[in-house]
Structure 1
Amino acid sequence: MSEEPKHDQVRSRNEPFTEKTATRIWSELPSDDNPYIAAKTFCHGYDLIELMEKRSFVDVFYLLFRGELPGKAEAQLLQSLMIALINPGPRHTATRAAMNVGVGKTDPLHILPIASAVLGGEHLGGGEIESAMRFLRKRQQEAPAVVAAEMVNTFHPQGSDFPGFGEHFGGVDLMAKEIARQLMKKEAAGDALCWGNQFATALEPHGCGWLTTGVAAAVFSDLGFHPRAGGCLFQLLGAPGLIAHGLELANKPITAMPFVSDENYVIER
């Protein structure tokens, strides 16, 4: 006769749930007539209407995630990065997903959720940002050339201990390099961006360098964003381009996108 499987004893955690949802980010002053209608809204203590009148979108974006308004230098650095990341470009898999969704006549409201999920991937996506931010934090006390030599000796395209850096279609990503160069001119460019730039320069003779994810990670680090927020911010900043490409094809026939011919399908055995 077989023995009955043993199970761990089920125990109550005795963890009481809070009675109300709490947030330090947003507060609403209810109307005198209806408590469900907000008469005033505050972001980290700042009146939303006053922010509309006196501050830029970049300022309020920074405030929302950091809990404080940026200085002029921080706002300029963030704005430049936002422009640089506004569109992943038609070669990026996330943009291709948006284009396929659009031309496939999916509801336009679904373009962003589908494409953004792809933009959150590990390869050139938000899934790499947190690791890149932690890599920069951990290694920037070391000489960039020494770390570059380590990377050159251990690098393999399928996975790397050096997230945010590497080869792009077999060579140096020239746009990522130029974006980093422009960002380096900003007053708020900090230790992560400076170290990353030296590291990328040391890698260049070996056909590697900055990736867009690395540049984003460095700026997020210098602006004080938490590594766990980095990937989400990367998705958010790339969203306009994804939507634009998807909508561009939304009213076009399915023939507006190429169809892969049979000879280009390869079945590995």
Structure 2
Amino acid sequence: MTVKANKEERRDEQFAENISTKICLETPCQDNPYLAEESHYHGYNLIELMAKRRFVDVLYLLFRSELPSPQESEILEQLMIGLISPGPRHPATRAAMLAGVGKTDTSHLLPISLTVLSGEHLGAASVEPAMRFLRKNRRTPPGEVAEQLLSDSSPPAEGDWHIAPGFGSRFNGIDPIPGKMARQLLKLEGADDTLKWAEQFAQAIAAHNQGWLTTGLAAAVLTDLGFAPRAGAGLLQLFAAPGLLAHAVEFASKPISAMPFPKDEDYVIEYQSK
């Protein structure tokens, strides 16, 4: 067996002498430079932001380098409310409940549930692909895109069919809640082209048991607001974190018997011959 020697290459990158960020500027204290006297975010004083702006405005500011318009603030805030909890059917919420009732250290409750939410199945990992799908196709008639996708793929033998990132079936049906949320957001002045396109796309695939998923809804609004696709996963986790933590804390005060214990006959053990 021939082993190839590793080729040594010289790194010619010029590394920065200091860590630099455009987001935050801290003014050091005169008597202790390790402490900050003031903090500014994209030019806005933090204390003034506390006094004059809402959380949703400052969140937008951190990522977009400017404060949102009233219309942008309204639609982002309503999206955040809609996604504040994945609901008890979601695996991430189940993980939160189990971690809580199992008396997991409280500092670990949210990270455990967010780890489950970070997956591709109705999770944060599918938001960035959904944003890129929408950015790529939103100038093509949604009916044409739907027709092409339907002709290029077919339903799996089992499980849900996601015809495009952020769109598909859930438990072999169309999830009604994301559709209702989309129609609520479309009533707002801040509803823009990507959200409108995505609603038409959802209607075009409805006859094939496909529809909105919450990840697609998040992707559509975030795309219209100008957020970068790579921010999508973390933002979905941020939006859902309050609901996950609330469910975990609720079950942290309950005994282990608050969870069902499957009977022996409910277990299915499959043996495979060697």
Query: Which TM-score applies when normalising by structure 2?
Result: 0.93
Equivalent position SS for 1:29: strand
The 3 A distance-change label for structure 1 pair 133 and 256 is same
Does 1:54 pair with 2:52? Answer: yes
In structure 1, the partner of 2:231 is 229
| 2:28 counterpart letter in structure 1 | P
In structure 2, the partner of 1:209 is 211
In structure 2, the partner of 1:45 is 43
Q: 1:200 deviation in Å?
A: 0.7
Partner Cα separation in structure 1 for residue 63 and residue 154 of structure 2? 34
In structure 2, the partner of 1:113 is 111
Partner Cα separation in structure 2 for residue 80 and residue 6 of structure 1? 57
Unaligned runs of 5+ in 2: none
Q: How does 1:1-269 map to 2 (within 5 A)?
A: 5-153=3-151, 154-156=153-155, 157=159, 160=162, 162-268=164-270, 269=272
Comparing 159-168 with 65-74, greater Cα deviation is found at 159-168
Partner Cα separation in structure 2 for residue 169 and residue 158 of structure 1? 6
Partner Cα separation in structure 1 for residue 181 and residue 173 of structure 2? 16
Query: Which TM-score applies when normalising by structure 1?
Result: 0.94
Any idea what the Cα deviations from partners look like across 1:212-265, whole Å, max 9, x if unmatched? 111010000000000010011001100000000000000111111112333333
The 3 A distance-change label for structure 1 pair 155 and 112 is farther
Partner Cα separation in structure 1 for residue 224 and residue 80 of structure 2? 15
Partner Cα separation in structure 1 for residue 264 and residue 26 of structure 2? 58
| 1:107 counterpart letter in structure 2 | D
Q: 1:146 deviation in Å?
A: 2.3
Q: 1:205 deviation in Å?
A: 2.1
Number of matched residues?
A: 267
The 3 A distance-change label for structure 1 pair 12 and 70 is same
Any idea what the Cα deviations from partners look like across 1:151-187, whole Å, max 9, x if unmatched? 3442435664511111111111100110000011111
Partner Cα separation in structure 1 for residue 21 and residue 265 of structure 2? 56
Identity %: 55
The 3 A distance-change label for structure 1 pair 20 and 159 is farther
Partner Cα separation in structure 1 for residue 237 and residue 254 of structure 2? 26
| 2:256 counterpart letter in structure 1 | I
Equivalent position SS for 1:89: coil
Comparing 6-15 with 173-182, greater Cα deviation is found at 6-15
Equivalent position SS for 1:146: helix
Any idea what the Cα deviations from partners look like across 1:118-151, whole Å, max 9, x if unmatched? 1111010110000001111111222212222333
| 2:267 counterpart letter in structure 1 | Y
The 3 A distance-change label for structure 1 pair 142 and 266 is farther
